[in-house]
Structures are given as C-alpha cells and as structure tokens.
Amino acid sequence: MPDTYRRILLKLSGEALMGPMESGIDPATLNRFATEISDLLKEGVQVGLVIGGGNIFRGAGLAAAGMDRVKGDQMGMLATVMNSLAMQDALIRLGSPCRLMTAFSVGTLSEPFDRDRAIRHLEQGRAVIFAGGTGNPYFTTDSAASLRAIEIQADILFKATQVDGVYSDDPKRNPDAERFEHLSYDEAIDRRLMVMDTTALALCRENRLPLQVFNIHEPGNLRRAATGEAIGTRVE
Ligand code: UDP
C-alpha cells in the first residue's frame, strides 16, 4: 500500500449507520464500515473518527417540534456517543484497539478529550473516536470533525456521504446536476454547495486542511481514498 496518508480523520454521519433502516444502527452496515476501518489500521494508517448522531436525534429537528434548542443539541451530542460506542465495539470485536474520547464527561464510558493523548493513541495504532461533537450546542459534527482533524494534525479529512462527491445540485432530484472533481473552499462556501456547514468549511480553509468527499456505501472506497485515489470530490 503506498503510504499516501499517514493520519486521516473520517467523518461518518449518523445516517450512514442506518443502512437500509429508517433510524438507529444497522449491524451489517456498521460491521462493514468497521471492517474497512480495521483493514486500514492493520496497514498502518492512523485513523481518527467522528460519527454524527442524526440517525437518533438532531437538535434542530427537536427544536422544530417545540423543544428547547440547547437541550435538543445536548440530546444530539449524546446520540453521537451512542453511535460511537457501537463503532468502538465493532472495531474491538474485529481485533482493532479503539479508544473513545468525548468532548464532555460521560463518567467511566470514555476518556475526556485530550489532544496529546489522542495523538499518542493514534501513534500506537489505536483508532480514536471523538464523540460528543464539539461539546457545544449550535455546532455540528462536521465542525467537530474539522476541529479534531486540525487538532490531531490529520493529513486529510474524509467526509463519507451517501453520494459520490459534491454536486452542483441534488443529483437525486436533478439529473443535470454536475459532480465536481475539485473545488476550492471559497467556491464551496460562496456557492453554498452543502459540502459541510460554513463553520466547518471555514475552519478547514483557515487551517489548510484538505477535504475529500466520497460515497462510503461503495465497498473499498475508504481504502481507495486512503491510498490517494482521486475518488469523489476534493476540496482544498
Ligand atoms: N451537536 C451539537 N454540537 C456539536 C455536534 C453536534 O449540538 O458540536 C448536536 C446537534 O443537535 C446535531 C446532533 O448533535 O444535530 C447530531 O449531530 P449531526 O447533526 O452533526 O449528525 P449527522 O448529521 O452527522 O448524523
């Protein structure tokens, strides 16, 4: 394997874990992702992970239904912890050591996030899952992924999506939508291309962190991206 990337941060949305289900976690989908991550770890790639919570709760959705936004966001952040526990379990069952670090204390369930300790775990070949988002309401796990990727000095941020990159419009609704192979952060922000939210994009831009967006449901794509193949869309 060409050692293109030494350290990556992979952002998986909560929805990706649903597979064919309407909500929750599909065990087969979780295990497939875990297998691909475990294979990368075994080849010596250092892997940090951020997993969303949208398959369980999203603060904005709860607020639209009448709930206080901050409480809703706290529920969303806890949802990311549940998904992360499931991924940690799947990785450990595959023989890949994995630590869970949270932005806020959840007692004995995780380690508190500590950048230096996270880097030491990664250097020792352990996956590290950064759960609980940024720990603050009104943020997203995309912003948490950008932040953690920058903090751990990842070579690249991988955003795993349900389609094969960034399009000029929703490819499911508009057959003329074009897929971009390359984009600048300025274009992504100015054209509101929905790659990630503006906070997350601005953090990447300011810290010169490249981003690659690709379809995680296509088997082998994670490895392709990790070996430097130009799949999906690259934003930099
Ligand atoms: N969240 C938050 N602060 C953060 C990250 C997440 O309040 O730093 C909450 C927010 O309510 C969000 C939910 O957690 O809707 C789940 O995260 P996200 O929507 O990013 O998950 P994804 O869409 O990736 O599944």
Q: Is the pTM of the predicted complex or chain greater than 0.90?
A: yes
**12 alpha carbon to ligand 1 midpoint, in Å?**
12
User: Along the 236 residues of the chain, how does pLDDT read in single tens digits?
Assistant: 455 899 999 999 999 999 999 999 999 999 999 999 999 999 999 999 999 999 999 999 999 999 999 999 999 999 999 999 999 999 999 999 999 999 999 999 999 999 999 999 999 999 999 999 999 999 999 999 999 999 999 999 999 998 899 999 988 899 999 999 999 999 999 988 889 999 999 999 999 999 999 999 999 999 999 999 999 999 99
**Does the beta carbon of 54 sit less than 6 angstroms from any atom of ligand 1?**
yes
Q: Which residues pair with 102 in a beta bridge?
A: 112, 131
**Does the beta carbon of 133 sit less than 6 angstroms from any atom of ligand 1?**
yes
Topology of 7-235 in CATH? Carbamate kinase (3.40.1160)
Cα 81 to its chain centre, rounded Å, is: 13
Report how far residue 178's alpha carbon sits from residue 21's, in angstroms, rounded to the nearest whole number: 28
What is the residue type of 230? A
Question: Are the C-beta atoms of 156 and 211 separated by less than 8 Å?
Answer: yes
Residue 225, both tokens? 């991206």
Residue ID of nearest Cα to ligand 1 atom 22: 52
Q: Residue 37: its pLDDT value, please?
A: 98
To the question of whether residue 5 is assigned a binding role by annotation, the answer is no
Q: Residue 1: its pLDDT value, please?
A: 45
Neighbours of 58 (CB within 10 A): 20
**90 alpha carbon to ligand 1 midpoint, in Å?**
22
**14 alpha carbon to ligand 1 midpoint, in Å?**
9
Q: Residue 66: its pLDDT value, please?
A: 97
| Sheet of strand 211-215: strand arrangement | 111-112, 98-102, 127-131, 46-51, 7-12, 156-161, 211-215, 233-235, 182-183
User: Scanning the structure block, which residue is given the tokens 């204390």?
Assistant: 105
Q: Which of helix, strand or coil describes residue 72?
A: helix
**11 alpha carbon to ligand 1 midpoint, in Å?**
12
User: Scanning the structure block, which residue is given the tokens 């892997």?
Assistant: 47
**Does the beta carbon of 53 sit less than 6 angstroms from any atom of ligand 1?**
yes
Question: Are the C-beta atoms of 116 and 144 separated by less than 8 Å?
Answer: no
Question: Are the C-beta atoms of 31 and 19 separated by less than 8 Å?
Answer: no
**Does the beta carbon of 139 sit less than 6 angstroms from any atom of ligand 1?**
yes
**3 alpha carbon to ligand 1 midpoint, in Å?**
32
Query: Where are the domains positioned within the chain?
Result: 7-235
CA dihedral 222, 228, 230, 231 (to 10 degrees): 0
**Longest pairwise C-alpha distance within the chain:** 51
To the question of whether residue 12 is assigned a binding role by annotation, the answer is yes
User: Scanning the structure block, which residue is given the tokens 């996956």?
Assistant: 127
Ligand 1 pocket test, pick from 15, 49, 80, 142 with the greatest ligand atom count within 8 Å of Cβ, gives: 80
Question: Are the C-beta atoms of 30 and 90 separated by less than 8 Å?
Answer: yes
| ipTM at complex level | 0.99
**Does the beta carbon of 13 sit less than 6 angstroms from any atom of ligand 1?**
yes
To the question of whether residue 140 is assigned a binding role by annotation, the answer is yes
Q: Which residues pair with 20 in a beta bridge?
A: none
* DSSP letter, residue 113: P
Task: Enumerate long-range contacts of 20-24, CB under 8 Å, 24 or more apart.
Answer: 23/55, 23/56, 24/55, 24/56
Cα 156 to its chain centre, rounded Å, is: 12
